[in-house]
Structure 1
């Protein structure tokens, strides 16, 4: 009985040794692979492959992509893994023209910056050129418009930033369907009313309105025009409603005012 037990244990010894050898080999292979992976990572991080190769800006319309890249502080000298994309996004979100920015790493070593710009509400006339006016009141003096595309109203004679900002706030809330009717807006302040505006509409009418409650008053413009028989003339819109008169009637009224002043 004791001999059978001894033989049984002796039979198992080679199998135990073989199992230990295989386990040792597997462990060795694992450590060797881990070692080569770590070496590869170190070599990769030190090689040009780990540095930014290209920065692609998408979603922009009037903001210069070079300016966006400069604001991100990213370049080909920056390791693609040396920064957090969230931090770059925070930096870009501080740019006055940008509402939101998203930064993504693109395999193997490219960066994509996707931006959403603030809405353009008008163009400001400055000499012979026009510059976009954004919804936050900032004028993009780096984006000069030579040929007007008719995609936003043109603003003239706004020499006071306070009143320009007030109008901007109104234009932000103005329905786009109404804004599309407006061609030009002139600031015509008087001693009694510094908020006075004159609008030239794409359908041939002129509108006299106030910066105050401009958006609410102009929302009734289509309804007012639909009730008119004349193809053009002047519509004065105010708190009390709307008054229509022809250009001749307006000119006659101005002549009377001039004579009374004299």
Structure 2
């Protein structure tokens, strides 16, 4: 027979369970309340505000300019922005190649900037503007010029094409460029380059880097002291001025100096091989002639001795 438990005996146990459940709920609610209180107090203190911004890699503009471009101000909540949002704003600047943003401790922020390199200066009506490797011309004023000057490159698209070509030019040749002028009257973009060594180079904008890298090989074949115009529009030729009479003459250069040097080396090797073969053949021929002469002389003497014996 099943044992019957009186309800009055179970009441203390039920009360204890209900009390524990109530206590757990109270502790949970108290914990949540305390956390919210801490967050509210923290948000009102200086330890939740932006107090320090460090910018690294800023050369074209001052660090404060990058801080203003990011849209951040001292006193902003550290939780009101994300690193990705600031990076997107900075990467939108025309002169910035890449950026990286990191929050440091509770109130600090570090910004790392990679700027486009300078390739020259745009000549305009009011002065000069620095031109970067992506073709962008900075609007900030320039105090001094230390690089190639670009004339008639006000068009953004044309300037970008020029920048793309110059990034592929060897540094040895790039350092010799003093000025690049675009001829706007031609249907295809033609440019004239004035070099620091006194020469002038003419070529097309689309193949400028490919042919300009041969410049050291071309000028090495000119007579010492002669300066003139090097035409790289189709092939590579030079028209230079003689220092005494000033007469102008055309001197055709090879289209590819490196290939010409290889052909010259091969011709020397073939000439040496033919010379050695000729010497060997001549030596063999002389030996054979000597053997024939020797055998002919011995035969003649023997014939004379036989004739004398017959006469006796």
TM-score by length of 1: 0.72
How big is the alpha-carbon RMSD for the aligned residues of Structure 1 and Structure 2? 3.1
Distance 1:100 1:81, change over 3 A: same
Match of 1:182 in 2: 177
1:154 to 138, 142, 149: 149
TM-score by length of 2: 0.61
**Contact kept in structure 2, 1:50 and 1:109, CA below 8 Å:** yes
**Contact kept in structure 1, 2:177 and 2:195, CA below 8 Å:** yes
1: CA distance, partners of 2:212 / 2:61 = 30
**Contact kept in structure 2, 1:190 and 1:196, CA below 8 Å:** no
Match of 1:145 in 2: 142
Match of 2:219 in 1: 225
2: CA distance, partners of 1:201 / 1:185 = 9
2: CA distance, partners of 1:235 / 1:212 = 17
Give the stretch that moved more between structures: 108-117 or 226-235: 226-235
Residue 34 of structure 1 and its aligned partner are, at CA, apart by: 10
2: CA distance, partners of 1:242 / 1:60 = 44
1:75 to 60, 73, 76: 73
**SS of equivalent to 1:186:** strand
Residue 160 of structure 1 and its aligned partner are, at CA, apart by: 4.2
5+ long unaligned stretches in structure 1: 1-27, 254-262
Larger radius of gyration: 2
Q: How does 1:19-34 map to 2 (within 5 A)?
A: none
Residue 159 of structure 1 and its aligned partner are, at CA, apart by: 4.6
**Contact kept in structure 1, 2:121 and 2:145, CA below 8 Å:** no
Distance 1:108 1:159, change over 3 A: closer
5+ long unaligned stretches in structure 2: 1-26, 251-312
**Contact kept in structure 2, 1:182 and 1:199, CA below 8 Å:** yes
Give CA deviations for 1:32-71 in whole Å, capped at 9, x if unaligned: 9999887555433221221111222210221343332222
**Contact kept in structure 2, 1:129 and 1:146, CA below 8 Å:** no
Match of 2:209 in 1: 215
1: CA distance, partners of 2:233 / 2:159 = 19
Distance 1:128 1:226, change over 3 A: farther
Distance 1:176 1:91, change over 3 A: same
Distance 1:229 1:123, change over 3 A: same
2: CA distance, partners of 1:194 / 1:154 = 21
2: CA distance, partners of 1:117 / 1:77 = 28
Give CA deviations for 1:136-166 in whole Å, capped at 9, x if unaligned: 222111x22121123xx11123354443333
**Contact kept in structure 2, 1:171 and 1:215, CA below 8 Å:** yes
2: CA distance, partners of 1:208 / 1:117 = 31
Distance 1:177 1:39, change over 3 A: farther
Match of 1:21 in 2: none
Match of 1:87 in 2: 85
Match of 1:15 in 2: none
